[in-house]
Structure 1
Amino acid sequence: MRRIITTIDIGTTAISTIVAERQKDGGIRILGVAQGPTFGMRRGSVVDIDEVTVSLKKTIQEASKASGMNIKKAVVGVGGTHINTYNTKGVVAISRADGEIAEEDVRRVIQAAENSIPKNPNREIIHIIPREYKIDNESGIKDPVGMTGIRLEVDAMIVDGSKSALRSIIKCVEGAGVEIDDFIFSSLASAEAVLSRRQKELGVMLLDIGGGTSNYSVWEEGRLVQAGVFPVGGTHITHDIAVGLQVHIDTAEKIKLEYGHAIPELFSKKDVIKLADFGLNGDDVYLKRHIAEIVEARFKDIFELASKELKRIDRFGLLPAGVVLIGGASHIPGIEEIAKKELRLPIEVGKKVNLPQPTDKNLQELLFTYPVALGLVAWQVNQLSGDNRYFYNPTFESVSSKIKNWFKVFIP
């Protein structure tokens, strides 16, 4: 029986869909991909259900046609400023008389970690992520199954989201004729596709500069240290250019893509672009240096937020594997230099796929435009193989199912 995986990344500016097949050896073969513009989203949240649904239908139909598959279910990436993360702990007594820890003990301690937090009727837990376990007085344990002891503890991270925001996504996806298998936090999905095990062990930050927001995750010693969302992204650069040069937003986007640069010092007053270069009427001339100053200022805002977060968790300047940048804006020239200056860490733009058994040669080419959707594929493959211990669903039930049941109870 073929194992087909469909993933959907609903971004602020674009929707990406991938249909893949898991091979018998654990490898991944891409069957079809599609990407189209998103309408009706703002900062990762739905603001117009009808517009998002139409955008989804078009992209899903294109992916279905490209893959030759009828798309009925999908794993959906979720992000946006409504996402929160916080820490929790759980403690249980080991159940077996001989003290050996079983999978059931792990499930119980994670359940205890979930139960230890106050319940908010307006929020829904998306992930409970074990960061480390402790057996009696021994800490730093990644996988306690098979070890022995009396007491098992877990230090975990909770990722939750607004119930109304998640419900809106469910309505959009189901309105496009697809059932949601589960939600995955986009920041963690990207890490599955881009970061290597060595980078996660050494210490690394992944920063995905999206359209309306920038997702991040910080890893060290193979475990997740922190993750979250910054309310600034690539579209803010476009808006700044539109305001600064007094041009239409579509022209500003073209200027960003063709002439965007983050180092103003590289340009002189003789380096200019003309409005006529974009097939528009007018004799207006713009300094490339001025454009670079606009881009630089917005990048500094993003990296200042990243810097503050690293300082808050005591990792500023202390991640040997540095910062890996992905997302459309990460390919603007000069970004590595300014990021290195602001963050004081090694910087690289993510260009290498780190998926399990990547047998498909096309994966590398897809990374530029489909990092989250590829990460969702990797997450699903790991789930199917039982290798993914970073993600536990709350109460081990589909998040989308819980939300739908919640709305059935509370909404007539």
Structure 2
Amino acid sequence: MAAYVSAGIDIGTQNIRVGVALGVVPGEYPLPKMLGFGTAESKGLRQGCVVERKEVLKNVLQAVRSLEKNTGIRIKNVSLAAGGIGLESFFSSAETVVSRADLEVTELDINKLKDACEKNIPSNILLNKRILHVIPILYKLDSKTVLGDPVGMKGAKLEVRCLFISIMEKYLDELIEIIEEGGIETVDVVASPLAASLVLLSKQQKKAGCALVDIGAETVSVIVFENNTPISLEVFPTGGNHITNDIALGLKISLEEAEHIKTGGLTAASYPRKKLDEIIEARLSDIFDMIDGHLKKINRSGLLPAGVIFSGGGSNVSGIDELARSYLKLPAKVASIQKNEQGALKSNHITIKDAAWAPVYGVCLLGSNVSAEEGRIYHVAQKAGRRIKRILKQFLP
């Protein structure tokens, strides 16, 4: 069995996180052994979009150098966990006639169907966007629902409904260019909520139906699962910084104090507890309204047995799970990284339990499960302008 190293990076609005993992191929898709981590404060981004290029480059290099110092490993390429306001999802459907004379469905039929599915997307929806993932939600063969992969079955007409996850092309281009300016090649791009779900959600939760809600500094992302398959993704332009700002304004204190109070780093004994709770609840209720609005749009409001799982820096707000249960009428909990045999996600120097690291861990996990040759297949050929088309086999219905 050959071991090799994969690296992942998450360029957030508040923090940049980098990780490197030792993977094993072939195998049973084991959790990779994390060799080390690096982090740096993030400046120069707004809601995941680059606004000060030089500042972002400096911070990326700082995080990478921190990782290299901790591990002694030179980082030459990374997989990028892409997030921010530019992420979104939409559906498309298509049908095709099975090509073989004996009516057996082949991979050729599946690929032809997915291409047709993409062609059926209205041009205005794809304007300025790049497709990251194409995930089959439902197959039908001769109008009958197929549970799983239809390859090998027999029928005349094959239909599919796919979930497409896309990102604003300009936002992604700028991040990849910045990484390359730092002397590092981007070999793959994965939507951040999808990467985090591989680490934070159990298969049981994804089968029953759940929503993973990441409350970042300036955005809130929601990815919904059912039957072990993602069925929607949406990002809202609000986040943990808005809670901090509300506390600072309401209590007439500095942003630094407000942030410490929000995350429990300082006691609020010298401030009116009732007023503080009202400030936090008002902002969280706005966020919950957005989440519930999305669930209503996809007909899942109050209908997710595994409930809502919160992650990201904003999920550290005390009592967020209790408030969510009240507002969303669903089970709710704060996520934790699915632990390895040692009980936590460990590196040579630090122990990582913070779910905010999940996107990095997730892309490392994906990177450790493909060979170097496959990595080249999924390479983001930025200069050639090719569209990223990664089908995640873990999410086949």
Indicate the TM-score class for this superposition, using the shorter chain for normalisation. Answer: 0.7 to 0.9
Q: Which residue of 1 aligns with 2:34?
A: 30
Aligned residue runs from structure 1 range 26-65, under 5 A? 26-27=29-30, 28-65=32-69
Match for 1:400 among 380, 385, 390?
A: 380
Q: CA deviation at 1:166?
A: 1.1
Q: Name the CA distance, whole Å, in 2 between partners of 1:91 and 1:385.
A: 34
SS at match of 2:139: strand
* 1:237 lines up with 2:243 in the alignment: yes
* Conserved 8 A contact 1:260-1:291: no
8 Å contact 1:260–1:292 — kept in the other structure? no
Q: State the 1:320 CA deviation.
A: 0.8
**Structure 1 residue 61, shift from structure 2 partner:** 1.1
Aligned-residue offset at 1:226: 0.9
Amino acid at match of 1:292: D
Same amino acid, percent of matched pairs? 33
RMSD after superposition: 2.5
> Structure 1 stretches of 5 or more lacking a match?
262-270, 274-285, 387-392, 408-412
Cα distance, 1:141 vs. partner? 2.9
Per-residue Cα deviation, 1:124-172 (whole angstroms, up to 9, x for no partner):
1111111121111211432112222222221001111212111111121
Alignment of 1:360-399 (within 5 A): 361-363=343-345, 366-368=352-354, 369-383=356-370, 398=378
Gaps of 5+ in 2: 387-397
Residues 85-140 of structure 1 show CA distances to partners (whole Å, capped at 9, x for unaligned) of 11101222222222222222222211111111134452211111111211112114
Shift of 1:259: 5.8
Cα deviation code 1:356-395 (max 9, x no counterpart): xx45643285341301111222333455599xxxxxx9xx
Q: What SS does the aligned partner of 1:296 have? A: helix
CA distance in 2, matches of 1:361, 1:404: 43
Q: 1:337 aligns with which of 296, 308, 322?
A: 322
1-structure distance, mates of 2:237, 2:371: 33
Kept after mapping to 1: 8 A contact 2:24/2:368? no
How far 1:251 moved relative to its partner? Answer: 2.5
Give the 3-state SS of the residue equivalent to 1:189 in structure 2.
helix
Matched, 1:226 2:232: yes
- Counterparts of 2:282 and 2:3 in 1: how far apart (Å)? 49
Cα 1:52–1:352, aligned 2, differ >3 Å: closer, same or farther?
closer
Give runs of ≥4 in structure 1 deviating > 6 Å: none
* Residue of structure 1 in register with 2:15 after alignment: 14
Residue 325 in structure 1 maps to residue 310 in structure 2: yes
Instruction: Specify the alignment match of 2:299 in structure 1.
Output: 314
Which residue in the other structure is 2:180 paired with?
174
Q: For residues 382 and 91 of structure 1, do their structure 2 counterparts lie closer, same or farther at Cα, with a shift above 3 Å needed?
A: farther
Are residues 218 and 207 of structure 1, via their aligned partners in 2, closer, same or farther at CA, if it must alter by over 3 Å?
Answer: same
CA contact (8 A) 2:22 2:368 kept: no
Q: Which moved more, 1:4-13 or 1:345-354?
A: 345-354
Specify the code of the residue in structure 1 equivalent to 2:82.
Answer: V
> How far, CA to CA, are the matches of 2:104 and 2:64 in structure 1?
47
User: Once the 2 structures are TM-superposed, how far is the Cα of residue 332 of structure 1 from its aligned partner?
Assistant: 2.0
SS of the residue corresponding to residue 66 of structure 1 reads helix
Give the match for residue 392 of structure 2: none
Q: What TM-score results when the alignment is normalised by the length of structure 1?
A: 0.84
Alpha-carbon separation, structure 2, partners of 1:18 and 1:150: 48
In structure 2, distance between residues paired with 1:384 and 1:343: 42
1:194–1:353: 8 Å Cα contact kept in structure 2? Answer: yes
Residue-by-residue CA offset, 1:59-82 (whole Å, 9 max, x unaligned): 011112222211111110111112
1:410 alignment partner in structure 2: none
